[in-house]
Structure 1
Amino acid sequence: MYDKLYHNLPVSEALEEEEEVDLFDYYYDEPGSLPGTLNIEEDADPPSIVLIDYSETTATRVQLATPEACVPYLDSESVSWIDVQGLGSEDVLQRLGKVFHLHPLILEDIVNVPQRPKIEDYKDQLVIIAQMAMLNEQEDSFWIEQVSFVVGKHYLLTVQEEPEHDSFEPVRQRIRHNRGTIRKHGVDYLTYALLDGIIDGFFPILEVYGERIDQLEDEVVTNPTRKTLEKIYRIRRELLALRRCIWPQRETCSKLMRDISPLIRPDVQIYLRDCYDHTIQVIDIIETYRELTSGLMDVYLSSVSNKMNEIMKLLTVISSIFIPLTFIVGVYGMNFDHDASPLNMPELEWYFGYPACWALMIATASGLVYFFWRRGWFENVSSLKDE
């Protein structure tokens, strides 16, 4: 039955180029605005409501046309996962709030994105705000999207900003093919599985950033340029954005793991320890990468300074060789008249004066080159050729 009703969600074939988004914004209310005011963005996708209802023996997936269609599933004995994708209709969202009896402040946090990750207990409902990061393989970057959880006794409501991509597909496949023990547990285990998917979604992103940092290390040492500096700043900025996403979620996992809530059973709290451990691991990796990028900045400045020093040393060597030659030709370029006084440069009338002048300049230049070579200056200057 599940195979007939389950269909893959539509995936966009190509990603359009978008302007750079400020990764550090959080939503704030306009001064004097009423509590519970919803602000719908003009380019937001219209809501799509997908229901996955399952038990240990059966599982179905249906596309719901209206929020009111969720009512029969709210008190059923099976687990009902209502996934709302898109925030583009205030009417649908208001009706959704009435169906699930959401407090106006809950609905405000769900719709007015982005909010800081947090958890709030409303007696018969548990509200979790999380930030989901997904890898953008086309640009070696990532997307950030808010996901809101409303945990009830027999249902889980999730609200996403966009329908194009999320980190929940492995969980959907586990439900569909009855892999693992997910269909043997309740709503709290489903919440854990989705939170775990969100946190694990950070690891592929960090793997890409690790490779980028390795490449930058080679670039900084061999051929640092202005473009290298821009790359370092971009990575530092994006790592800081990832840190702002995952750091508050550590507190969320800690609260779910330690606080006693009738909606989270003790056996599921044990699984939440794994979420907490993964969160700490992600934070540690991010902090390590941030320290590496700070070190890359120091190495970049040192490499540029060393490169400049080598260039100045090369120019000093060339100048040191030509300064005595310039003195020699300057002296013999004054053209004093020997007939006026025997002291006025008698060398001007020598038969071999011109070859003698050349021999003196060659001997002087050769002597300086030999002196610099013995001091080891040319070994350092020759390293410029490798760059």
Structure 2
Amino acid sequence: MASEQKITIYNYNKDNYSEENASFDECINYKDKSGITWIDVKDVNNEQLLEKISNCYNLHQLVRESLLEQNKRSKIEDHGNYLFILLTTMSYSAETDEVFSEAVDLILGDNYIITFSHGTTISQILEPTKKRIRTEGTRLRESGTDYLAYRIIDALIDNYFNILKSYGEKVEILEEEIFNRGEKELLLHIQKLRRDMLSIRESIWPLREVLNSLQRGESRLIRPETRIYLRDVYEHTVQIMENLETSRDITASMLEVYLSTVNNKINEVMKVLTVFSTIFMPLTFISSIYGMNFHYMPELTWRYGYFAVWGSILIVVFSMLAYFRKKRWF
């Protein structure tokens, strides 16, 4: 019974709507049912279930293999009677401060859509789309499967904007900390930020190619009126790519600023050490002279010799300090 709760079927048209948790046997009843059917499969690790669904809808062997793959990359395949669209998205966990990849395998047919969710947050991402299905009078209830596919793709794309917003805030915080602290941990944060943005870029890049193919209208399953919406989603991917490039440039500048700040601190330390070394050079010279073991050194028997040496040392020290201060070396 546990696996039965991992298939949700939505069937709807302009006037009617139904939603139920179902087993595979109940899925078969919806194959030729009137209206639009969305079969949302969450139990993607159940190979037996995937095989049954694949057989029921005559999915190609390559599609079946793609459903079982662990490392996903966005792509689109036209199999005539249906489209196989593999969609990836990225999610961010504030608790672990990590981004992770998730994916949806989407089968688009004439009157049905099957989605296989790979990830823990996919249901949450697609919840606004499900609410539109439940609401009577929405464009989604009056449109076909291609528009439903558009709404699913749009939800996954919009999720990237949420991640970019979070990372934009992190960039602002790091910029302030670089100037205020410049600690070593900041370098690790900057490097992690750059790696995460690279992962996001690698995820969104093939998605753009998928959307470009869809909005060009190469499949009969995508109606002309839906291509307009897909073109809008394609522009969203371009915008995300531009935002990513901007953020990467900012993090590169932050890295340069951090290294410059560290070098400036090192230079300040070296300046102080150089000043002290320069001051002690004449003092060492004076001390070394009177540290020589000659029998005849007149100053050694002079009553005020000790005080004269100390006076010379203090004069040299204060003179050099005054000179360095005048030159603004410290």
Match of 1:86 in 2: 43
- For 1:254, the equivalent position in structure 2 comes to 212
1:326 to 263, 284, 290: 284
- AA paired with 2:300? L
Q: What is the rounded CA distance, in whole Å, between the counterparts of 1:87 and 1:157 in structure 2? A: 12
Choose from 347, 354, 357 the match for 2:306.
Answer: 354
In 2: Cα distance, 1:170 partner to 1:143 partner: 21
Aligned-partner SS, 2:182: coil
Aligned partner of 1:122 in structure 2 is 79
Q: 2:153 aligns with which of 190, 195, 198?
A: 195
* Residues in 2 aligned to 1:359 and 1:326: alpha-carbon distance in whole angstroms: 15
Q: 2:228 aligns with which of 256, 270, 275?
A: 270
> Residue type of the partner of 2:89?
M
Residue 147, structure 1, aligned to residue 104, structure 2:
yes
Supply the distance in 1 between the matched residues of 2:185 and 2:121 (Cα, whole angstroms): 32
Instruction: Give the conservation status (yes or no) of the 8 Å contact 1:140–1:208.
Output: no
Could you tell me which residue of structure 2 aligns to residue 56 of structure 1? 14
Task: Quote the Cα distance in structure 2 between the aligned partners of 1:98 and 1:184.
Answer: 30
Equivalent position amino acid for 1:356 in 2: A
1:110-151 per-residue CA deviation (whole Å, 9 max, x = no partner) reads 221323211111111011011022221212322211211100
Query: 1:28 maps to what in 2?
Result: none
| 1:98 Cα offset (Å) | 0.9
Query: How far off is 1:201 after superposition?
Result: 0.2
**Aligned positions, number:** 327
TM-score with structure 2 setting the length: 0.93
Q: For residues 192 and 147 of structure 1, what CA distance do their matches in structure 2 show?
A: 13
Task: Give me the whole-angstrom Cα distance separating, in 2, the residues matched to 1:152 and 1:64.
Answer: 20
Question: Which whole-Å CA distance do the structure 1 matches of 2:156 and 2:263 have between them?
Answer: 43
What does residue 19 of structure 1 align with?
A: none
Mean CA deviation greater in 286-295 or 101-110? 286-295
Select between 264-273 and 135-144 the one with higher mean Cα deviation: 135-144
Classify the secondary structure of the residue corresponding to 1:286. helix
Structure 1 Cα separation of the partners of residues 261 and 214 of structure 2: 48
Decide which of 159, 168, 183 is 2:126's aligned counterpart.
Answer: 168
CA contact (8 A) 2:91 2:121 kept: no
Q: Distance in 2 between matches of 1:106 and 1:273?
A: 26
Q: Secondary structure at the match of 1:168?
A: helix
Structure 2: runs of 5 or more not aligned: none
1:360-381 CA distances to partner (integer Å, 9 max, x unpaired)?
A: 1111100000000011111xxx
Q: What pairs up with 1:191-270 in 2 under 5 angstroms?
A: 191-270=149-228
Paired residue for 1:308?
266
1:374 aligns with 2:326: yes
* 8 Å contact kept, 1:124–1:153: yes
User: 2:63 corresponds to which residue?
Assistant: 106
Contact 2:87 2:207 (8 Å CA) reproduced: yes
Alpha-carbon distance, 1:176 to partner: 2.0
CA distance in 2 between counterparts of 1:280 and 1:237 reads 20
SS of structure 1 residue aligned to 2:34: coil
The alpha-carbon distance between structure 1 residues 278 and 164, as it changes in their structure 2 partners (threshold 3 A), is closer
Equivalent residue runs for 1:332-347 within 5 Å: 332-337=290-295, 344-347=296-299
Q: SS of the counterpart of 2:282?
A: helix
1:33 counterpart residue number:
none
Deviation per CA, 1:264-289: give whole Å up to 9, x if none. Answer: 11111111111001100111111111
* Residues 47 and 89 in structure 1, CA contact (< 8 A), matched pair in contact too: no
Determine if contact 1:141/1:205 at 8 Å carries over to the other structure.
Answer: no
Given the superposition, is the C-alpha separation of residues 163 and 313 from structure 1 closer, same or farther in structure 2, using an over 3 Å criterion? closer
Aligned residues of 1:86 and 1:163 also touching (Cα < 8 A)? no
1:138 is the counterpart of 2:95: yes
Once residues 169 and 98 of structure 2 are traced to their aligned partners in structure 1, the CA distance between those partners, rounded to angstroms, is 12
Following TM superposition, by how much is the alpha carbon of 1:307 offset from its aligned partner in structure 2, in angstroms? Answer: 1.8
Unaligned 5+ residue runs, structure 1? Answer: 1-44, 338-343, 379-387
**Structure 2 CA distance, aligned partners of 1:257 and 1:58?**
29
Assess, with a 3 A threshold, how the Cα gap between structure 1 residues 268 and 304 changes in structure 2: closer, same or farther.
same
Instruction: From the superposition, tell whether residues 293 and 179 of structure 1 become closer, same or farther in structure 2 (CA, over 3 Å).
Output: farther
1:325 is matched by which residue type in structure 2? Answer: L
Tell me the distance in 2 between the aligned counterparts of 1:246 and 1:203.
11
Q: Which has the higher helix share?
A: 2
C-alpha displacement of 1:47 = 8.3
Cα pair 2:67 2:105 within 8 Å, conserved: yes
| Partner residue in 2 for 1:185 | 143
TM-score, with structure 1 as normaliser? 0.80
Deviation at 1:215, TM superposition (A): 2.3
